[in-house]
Amino acid sequence: MADTRTLTRQEAPATGFLPWRVPAPVALTALLGLLFVAVLLSLAVGSKALSFGQIWTAAGGGGPEHVRDVLGSRVPRTVLGLLVGACLAVAGVVMQGLSRNPLGDPGLLGVNAGAATGIVVSTAFLHLPGSPTWAALPGAFLAMLIMTTMGSGRRGVVPVRLVLSGAVVTAVLTAVIQAITLTHPNAFDDYRYWAVGSLAGGGADVVEILPWAVVGLVVAGLLATSLNALALGEEMAMSLGSNPAVTRWAGIAAATVLSAAATSAAGPIAFVGLAVPHLARAVVGPDHRWQLPAALLIGPSLLLVADVAGRLLLRPQELQVGVVTAFVGAPVLLWLVRRTAGESS
């Protein structure tokens, strides 16, 4: 395995750092508190607002029955947000670490579109029983394989080519989804409920994606030191005892499983996997041993806050969380593109 030394700022890939850096354990504690607040907001805000006192009482089995019913209806949505946010955020950290590309996001690279295509094909033609995750996984792996093959050169993955390949794969698979859903009404009815990304249900539930999420998160955690070594370059990684090929394929498998699980449950939610790794890197630095747990806390917090914002913006109706993250994520993407262009000029 790779040497476990910590990356320095000079060795790390180009990223931005906040001027008020704090020790990583302190930052993780603060992020844990932020996640706790996001969970409380997710439980409290909705068509029927609940006070924190009502939540506390109802969680203990007391209080009016209708309050317990409202709280009970929001708990699965909140837990799903925690799980989906964690999957997308960690998948983003792994993909950016593997590709050494700040635009490495499973959504932008076509993995989420591949998972969605697998579900639509299964609904329209195969009618597979069981969890939609089983249909999402083959599509996600196929999209990842095509994108990686197209984005690789003689010396391995080429960052610019990887992003372009992901854009091509996403465009083609989106066209396939539209063609199928427009010609198969049953596929369209199932697809439209989660096409824009929602935590309100309609896809796989928490129990169905939990095993995949656990496997993906564990594998990603085991790759932390190898990702640190890979950030120094393949030759340096090999000199430190790491195997770049094993790291790359294990990381691709973990990111694909995490993306497929999240997409099968909540639909193709964009930009979480893109923005969270940058936020985590800004808070705890370039070391993946700190980045991964930071992303594990920031991703669910961001997704739950976006979901709460969606409930408030169009009250009494709701705006799907995928639409909110897209509105927030588009400026982030433009900033990253301008920043990347500035660094390369």
N residues, the chain: 345
Most confidently modeled range among 34-43, 68-77, 327-336: 34-43
Confidence class of residue 214 from pLDDT cuts 50, 70 and 90? very high
Calculate mean pLDDT across residues 305-319. 83
Most confidently modeled range among 80-94, 109-123, 154-168, 191-205: 80-94
Confidence class of residue 2 from pLDDT cuts 50, 70 and 90? very low
Most confidently modeled range among 120-134, 147-161, 173-187: 173-187
CA distances from 7 to 4, 16, 91, 220 (A): 9, 15, 20, 18
Confidence class of residue 8 from pLDDT cuts 50, 70 and 90? very low
Q: What is the mean pLDDT of the chain?
A: 80
Q: What does the pLDDT look like over 56-79, one tens digit per residue?
A: 888 877 778 888 888 888 899 999
Asked if the model's pLDDT at residue 160 lies above 80, the reply is: no
**Regarding predicted confidence, which is higher, 306 or 107?**
306
pLDDT at 193: 62
Asked if the model's pLDDT at residue 338 lies above 90, the reply is: no
Query: Which segments of 184-233 does DSSP mark as H helices, in order?
Result: 185-192, 206-222, 224-230
pLDDT at 129: 67
The secondary structure of the chain in percent helix, strand, coil, rounded to multiples of 5, reads 70, 0, 25
Name 134's Cβ contacts closer than 8 Å, sequence gap at least 6: 128
**Angstrom distance (rounded) from CA 12 to CA 3:** 15
The lowest-confidence range among 89-93, 194-198, 247-251 is 194-198
Confidence class of residue 86 from pLDDT cuts 50, 70 and 90? very high
pTM, rounded to two decimals: 0.84
- 292-306: burial string, b at 16+ Cβ within 10 Å, e else: bbbbbbbbbbbbbbb
Q: What does the pLDDT look like over 99-151, one tens digit per residue?
A: 777 777 777 777 878 888 888 888 778 776 667 778 888 888 888 888 888 87
Most confidently modeled range among 147-161, 215-229, 317-331: 215-229
Asked if the model's pLDDT at residue 3 lies above 70, the reply is: no
